[in-house]
Amino acid sequence: MATFHVVYPSDKLAEGQPRAVQHLGVDLLLVRLDGAVYALENNCTHDDYPLTEGTCEHGEIVCPLHGARFAIRTGEVLSPPAFDDLRSFPTREVAGQVEVAL
């Protein structure tokens, strides 16, 4: 069973602005979308490039290297050249902190 870990202050995570966080050896991408916080692995499954360098558009994170798109809410791959989904992690906000289950 995964345990929730504090990884980032809630008030520093702005809407639609991806943030990179590393915790317990896991590279995470945090994004606030429509007020909710989502956590995904922070490397494109196509070419292992950090997605925090990309942009958030219409509920998607776009890899800046080759343009692969992933759904922020689920990690599902939406367009090539990537074909594998991103891992997603449960999140919650408690006492002004973002917590992620790892």
Distance CA 99, CA 26 (A): 14
Domains of the chain, CATH where assigned: 4-101 (2.102.10.10)
Separation between Cα atoms, residue 91 and residue 102, nearest integer Å: 10
Q: What is the pTM of this model?
A: 0.94
Nearest CA among 16, 29, 13 for reference residue 58: 16
Side-chain-side CA neighbours of residue 72 (13 Å): 26
pLDDT in tens, the chain (102 residues): 789 999 999 999 999 999 999 999 999 999 999 999 999 999 999 998 999 999 999 999 999 999 999 999 999 999 999 999 999 999 999 999 999 999
